[in-house]
Amino acid sequence: MSLRSSTSHIRCTLWKAGKAANRVLSRAPMTHAFHSDIDPEDDFVCSIGEIFCHGEKLSRPVDLGLLAQFQTHGSLLTPHVLNKFMSFCAKFGFFHIGIQGHSIIIKMGFVSNVYICSALVDMYGKCGAISSARKVFDEMPQKNVVTWNSLISGYLNVGCPGIAVDLFLEMLRAGIAPTPFSVSAVLVGCPQLEDGGLGTQVHGLSLKAGFCYNVVVGTGLVDMYSKCCSVNDSRRLFDQMSDKNIISWSSIITGYAQNQQPDEAVVLVKEMLRLDLKPNHVTYNSLLSSFSSPNYLDHCKQIHCRIIQDGLESDAYIVVTLAIAYSECGSSLEDFKKISSSVTRWDQISWNAVIAGFSNLGDGEEALKCFFEMRQAGVEVDFFTFTSILKAVGIISDLKEGKQVHALVFKSRYAANLYVQNGLVSMYARCGAIDDSKRVFVSMDRHDVISWNALLSGCAHHGHGRETVQLFEQMRRTHIRPDNTTFLAVLTACSHAGLQNKGLEYFNLMKNDDFLEPPTMEHYATIVDLFGRAGNLHEAEAFINSMPIKPGRSVYKALLSACQVHGNKEIALRSVKKLLELCPNDPATYVLLSNVLVTGGNWDDASKVRKLMCDTGVRKAPGYSWI
């Protein structure tokens, strides 16, 4: 079908486009009102002039009436004006206006003008109508590098990086010399394809073409290497750039943030400030997203202060990112509520961030309350919402609410979503409904390591030790590799079930696996508990003394608890000495020692320990029960 033969199809859509275009333009930053005292031709010239000169800073109208004037004053429409008008539609996403402009271009016989048709390709690509962009491209008798760039960008815009790269190669074979924009567009596609090798080849092409000194290409290379290859390679390129802008700095900071190196990202932000470069909301969002553990709570607060100083605290995106960062860094509930109260735009992302935040901080009741408010506000839930709220239900062990959320999942389109299914397995296990947890697990089409960990942890913590071992052996026969959480669950199960030899076998298996991180303090504490439950206190003490890392209080508390069960005062006193060196104000240490002494009949010594607590001002927090 030619461009001319497509005119009838386009005109048939005008009556549909009219309403949509009116809605779009009514929300645009400009309004139009024709005045009876202004000559229509002068008004038309003014409207076109404002589009041409001011773009988004229009002082007065543009609406469908302008299209009617296009027909009336066709003699005033030069190719340059039409090109500018189509670029205007592309910039603001005025798709239906662009369609009507296309029909006028056909009517006026400009379908062979390479500049106007390139603008058409760009408009369709930016509006997501990539098939229409490709049709215009294919029917063009002549193409220049701008035409190719427009279509390549269009395919990247709709998430088709493979086709975009193929077009780039086709352009090179056609003898069209690439521009820096061509190269930067392909560099955007490399991370989407996860093809670092292709990115390296494009880097070589950039060197040959002399584009590496171009700030846009340099920034694209920094971004590509940080996502596809190595953040160290990205940093070397960044340091070699003679010209850097705020986007260049944001790209390298984002690279460090995404590679879990927040300390380096903070150093770069400080360097930016030293050079009098002001970070923008992208820089701060990337930096905050890298703070995901309690170790970075102070960093989070410092960046928050800087955001306030720069006047960005009211930015809708930064507020949401702050809420996520505070919750993942383990802030107090009071601080998190203050951040949440400053959210001004309550869309799906904002609600998800706040619900996930309360879940991360262990306040399941507040998370459920926010979930109900979200639904009452008519905001659509997604898989992230369900994952967070299922975690909240598990925290408060509310099986009734959990089943209601499960029913809502069935009604939604997320029943087959892996993350939601994992959340269901974990929720039922946390609520003590192990059989329901198993049923969800068995019904899943596929499993990942989180699926197995949720079921293994549930079985381990509810006393199903031998079944946990059987499930772990079943997991080892699959293609899914266990991680540190998997081993912690199965070691806990072995400890509770008294399977000392099996537990030691799995621990050695973990230590000798080069693909796993070294055992953490929790793993060592579990092995001490394994020895202690079996009554092998001397072996437990020897194991602690042979640890390759400095023993923490969880390790000594496990040994001290075993001493209480088996009444070993000698080892208990040595453990208490170590605990007091690590945490002298921990009331649990005194209580455990007192209980050991009571178990051994040493009532006077136990009384002295309790008196020592009072004298040193150490107080035990009172316990509470949900029953």
Q: How many CB atoms lie within 10 A of CB 197?
A: 11
pLDDT in tens, 587-619: 777 677 677 666 666 676 667 666 666 656 566
What's the mean pLDDT in 447-461?
95
Residue 584 maps to a domain = no
* Lowest model confidence (mean pLDDT) among 42-51, 275-284, 438-447, 577-586: 42-51
pLDDT in tens, 392-434: 999 999 999 999 999 999 999 899 999 999 999 999 999 999 9
What's the mean pLDDT in 162-185?
94
Residue 205 maps to a domain = no
Residue 398 maps to a domain = yes
- Separation CA 142–CA 497 (nearest Å): 77
- Separation CA 426–CA 395 (nearest Å): 10
Answer yes or no: are the C-beta atoms of 476 and 482 closer than 8 Å: yes
pLDDT in tens, 18-29: 344 344 334 333
Answer yes or no: are the C-beta atoms of 105 and 116 closer than 8 Å: yes
- For 61-81, give the DSSP string: --SHHHHHHHHHTGGG--HHH
Final residue of a domain: which of 426, 446, 466? 446
Q: How many CB atoms lie within 10 A of CB 550?
A: 8
Taking Cα atoms as reference points, which of 430, 349, 343, 419 lies closest to residue 387?
419
Percentage of the chain lying above the pLDDT 90 cut: 60
Instruction: Report the pLDDT value the prediction gives residue 37, as an integer from 0 to 100.
Output: 47
How far is the CA of 398 from the CAs of 84, 402, 405, 453, in angstroms? 60, 6, 11, 21
Tokens describing residue 96: 């239906």
Instruction: Report the pLDDT value the prediction gives residue 85, as an integer from 0 to 100.
Output: 83
Q: Which residue in this structure is represented by tokens 């596809």?
A: 228
Count how many domains the chain has: 2
Q: Is the pLDDT of residue 46 over 70?
A: no
Confidence category of residue 515, pLDDT binned at 50, 70, 90: confident
Q: Which residue in this structure is represented by tokens 């437990």?
A: 540
How would you class 512 by CB atoms within 10 Å of its CB: exposed for 0-12, middle for 13-18, buried for 19 or more? exposed
Answer yes or no: are the C-beta atoms of 293 and 264 closer than 8 Å: no
Residue 471 maps to a domain = no
- Separation CA 122–CA 120 (nearest Å): 5
pLDDT in tens, 332-390: 999 999 999 999 899 999 999 999 999 999 999 999 999 999 999 999 999 999 999 99
| Amino acid found at 523 | H
Question: If you ran DSSP here, which 8-state letter would residue 551 be given?
Answer: -
| Amino acid found at 565 | V
Instruction: Report the pLDDT value the prediction gives residue 367, as an integer from 0 to 100.
Output: 96
- Separation CA 328–CA 204 (nearest Å): 40
The alpha carbon of 290 is separated from its chain's Cα centroid by a whole number of angstroms, namely 10
Confidence category of residue 174, pLDDT binned at 50, 70, 90: very high
Higher pLDDT, 589 or 34: 589
Q: Is the pLDDT of residue 194 over 90?
A: no
Answer yes or no: are the C-beta atoms of 97 and 23 closer than 8 Å: no
Residue 394 maps to a domain = yes
Q: Is the pLDDT of residue 58 over 60?
A: no
Q: Is the pLDDT of residue 262 over 50?
A: yes
Residue 480 maps to a domain = no
Tokens describing residue 601: 């009949």
Q: How many CB atoms lie within 10 A of CB 166?
A: 13
Final residue of a domain: which of 422, 446, 470? 446
**Domain range for residue 129?**
1-142
What's the mean pLDDT in 114-138?
93
252-290 burial string, b = 16+ CB within 10 Å, else e?
A: bbbbbbebeebebbbebbeebeeeebebbbbbbbbbbbb
Residue 180 maps to a domain = no
For the chain, what is the radius of gyration of the CA atoms? Answer: 32
Q: How many CB atoms lie within 10 A of CB 141?
A: 8
Answer yes or no: are the C-beta atoms of 432 and 470 closer than 8 Å: no
Instruction: Report the pLDDT value the prediction gives residue 92, as an integer from 0 to 100.
Output: 84
Task: Note the pTM of the prediction, 2 decimals.
Answer: 0.75
Residue 376 maps to a domain = yes
Percentage of the chain lying above the pLDDT 70 cut: 82
- Separation CA 524–CA 530 (nearest Å): 10
Answer yes or no: are the C-beta atoms of 440 and 425 closer than 8 Å: yes
Q: How many CB atoms lie within 10 A of CB 382?
A: 17
Confidence category of residue 30, pLDDT binned at 50, 70, 90: very low
Final residue of a domain: which of 87, 118, 142? 142
